[in-house]
Chain A
């Protein structure tokens, strides 16, 4: 069973915004919406670090927990997706998300919010795979084509890794062993932390409901 995850290597990210551009181009994202952003800490100071941030497809996704209309679902691979036809654009998910991933297009005057848009791990949404409807609402479905998220595949320095959690963790471990530093994985503790009792499956998940 694969468990899809993102991993951003702060030692390698050069703030080129290639991931942001690739994502916007691949999914034809409208102006004002950024599914992925590059955040720089201590900008201009020696030792500054940049990280590429998007939806991390959390193990226990807070957006799923707070959604009043339950429009979120999780695929077998752990990709958190949502049904835009159900979304009411309330913004609760935005407040709940520790990564600021949910985006809301401004669809009218006075800051009227549209339906939430976020990273889909290039997995589309609840429309026919590869259909124009799916592309219009969620963007391209690369996973159904056997491809990985475009942001990770396009990353020039391979700072951003995407794919099965075990595989990318192995790649990162290999890298850390070679360079001998920078073992900290940004965001993983927040997104993929183990439950308090790791041996026991969460009750909600065992019942087949959302966690």
Chain B
């Protein structure tokens, strides 16, 4: 009694399943055509890589180049032990 409706539903969904499968197969095959070009065109004499952000773009300088340079110069003075020890 319960088998009949099952069979009927399978028969009814069969074309649907086949259509879905066919669609998936077609999508899979077409995906190969959508591949990105893998050959990079280099322009001689120019940087070809990704752009980089300047170091002073980060907190706490937030783009203040002058202050960043000033801070680094001050930090570099720590390498001078004549100044560190007051000699």
Contacts and interface: CB of A to CB of B under 8 A. Distances in A.
B72 interface: yes
B82 to A, nearest CB: 6
Chain B's interface size range is: 35 or more
Contacts of B49: 70-71, 73, 82-83, 85-86, 126
Interface string A40-74: 00000000000000000000000000001111110
Interface in B46-87: 46-58, 60-61, 65, 68-69, 71-73, 75-82, 87
Contact of A2 (B46, B50, B69, B77): B69
Contacts of A170: 80
Given A2-B72, A129-B53, A129-B55, A161 B79 contact: yes
A14 interface: no
Interface string A114-153: 0000000001111111100000000001011111100011
A107 interface: no
B75 to A, nearest CB: 6
A142 to B, nearest CB: 9
Interface string B22-43: 0000000000000000001011
B44 interface: yes
Contacts of A124: 55
A130 B58 contact: yes
A68 B75 CA distance: 37
A198 to B, nearest CB: 23
Contacts of A109: none
8 contacts: A69-B40, A129-B55, A163-B76, A168-B76, A171-B79, A178-B82, A209-B46, A210-B46
